[in-house]
């Protein structure tokens, strides 16, 4: 029997992000997920090295890769709509959870438990903290997109940049890894390839 999981996951490249905004360069879900995975891994490494945590950085990277996989089924709901009110936010979270279960059922039964550990939060303080860092990586990726659009002369992302920075400033108080990443790595995102070399 053939299983559809990876064929469906490969369709992330067709899901465009920032649908309500004019983009100087479109970003798809596949690109975003890779960036979130890399940043989530970095945040966990920072936590382990600088703050003595015991976080599974490799698992965080996998969670980052799959964190929006449900959008292959649901589409990318624009943030202002998704978070319009608590009822809509709760309903959308339920739809995402159903989509995740549908995706997991596209795997052979014997592989499902291994992937459930990525898709579903496990117990433990380190697990919860790691997942907070993945969410922070998602915000950092969004902020980086805003920086890139601004540098391309697109003022369309001005409000998104302000609101994302506000969210990140709140996260910095709770998650010092976010502050470290922003201090150590954000500024070069505004540079040209020649300046980076």
User: What is the per-residue pLDDT across 26-62, written as a single tens digit (0 to 9) for each?
Assistant: 999 999 999 999 999 999 999 999 999 999 999 999 9
5-191 folds as Hypothetical protein af1432 (1.10.3210)
Tell me the Cα Rg of the chain. Answer: 17
User: Domain-by-domain residue ranges, the chain?
Assistant: 5-191
Residue 71 CA to residue 77 CA, distance in Å, equals 8
In degrees and rounded to multiples of 5, residue 28 shows phi and psi of -105, 170
Phi-psi region of 125 (alpha: psi -120 to 50; beta: other; left: phi over 0): alpha
Q: Is the pLDDT of residue 124 over 80?
A: yes
Residue 26 CA to residue 76 CA, distance in Å, equals 13
- The angle that helices 57-66 and 125-151 make with each other, rounded to 10 degrees, is 60
Write the CB contacts of 66 (distance below 8 Å, at least 6 apart in sequence): 9, 33, 118, 119
What pLDDT does residue 81 have?
Answer: 66
Residue 158 CA to residue 5 CA, distance in Å, equals 37
Mean pLDDT on 96-121 = 95
Query: pTM (2 decimals)?
Result: 0.93
In degrees and rounded to multiples of 5, residue 124 shows phi and psi of 120, 145
Write the CB contacts of 196 (distance below 8 Å, at least 6 apart in sequence): 188
* Triad 58, 77, 75: Cα angle to 5°: 75
Q: What is the mean pLDDT of the chain?
A: 93
Q: What percent of the chain has pLDDT over 90?
A: 82
What pLDDT does residue 190 have?
Answer: 83
Q: Which residue has the tokens 């929006």?
A: 68
Q: How many CB atoms lie under 10 A from the CB of residue 133?
A: 29
Residue 116 CA to residue 101 CA, distance in Å, equals 9
Question: By mean pLDDT, which of 19-23, 74-78, 85-89 is the weakest?
Answer: 74-78
């Amino acid at each position: 029997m053939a299983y559809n999981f990876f064929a469906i996951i490969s369709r992330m490249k067709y899901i465009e992000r920032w649908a309500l905004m004019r983009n100087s360069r479109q970003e798809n879900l596949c690109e975003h997920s890779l960036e979130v995975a890399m940043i989530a891994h970095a945040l966990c490494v920072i936590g382990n090295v600088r703050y003595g945590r015991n976080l599974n950085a490799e698992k965080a990277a996998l969670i980052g890769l799959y964190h929006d996989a449900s959008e292959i089924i649901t589409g990318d709901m624009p943030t202002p709509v998704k978070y319009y009110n608590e009822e809509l936010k709760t309903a959308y979270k339920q739809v995402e959870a159903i989509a995740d279960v549908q995706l997991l059922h596209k795997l052979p039964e014997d592989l499902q438990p291994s992937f459930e550990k990525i898709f579903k939060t496990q117990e433990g303080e380190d697990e919860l903290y790691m997942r907070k860092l993945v969410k922070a990586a998602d915000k950092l990726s969004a902020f980086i997109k805003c920086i890139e659009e601004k540098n391309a002369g697109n003022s369309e992302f001005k409000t998104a940049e302000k609101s994302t920075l506000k969210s990140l400033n709140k996260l910095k108080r709770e998650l010092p890894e976010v502050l470290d990443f922003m201090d150590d790595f954000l500024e070069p995102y505004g540079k040209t390839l020649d300046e980076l070399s």
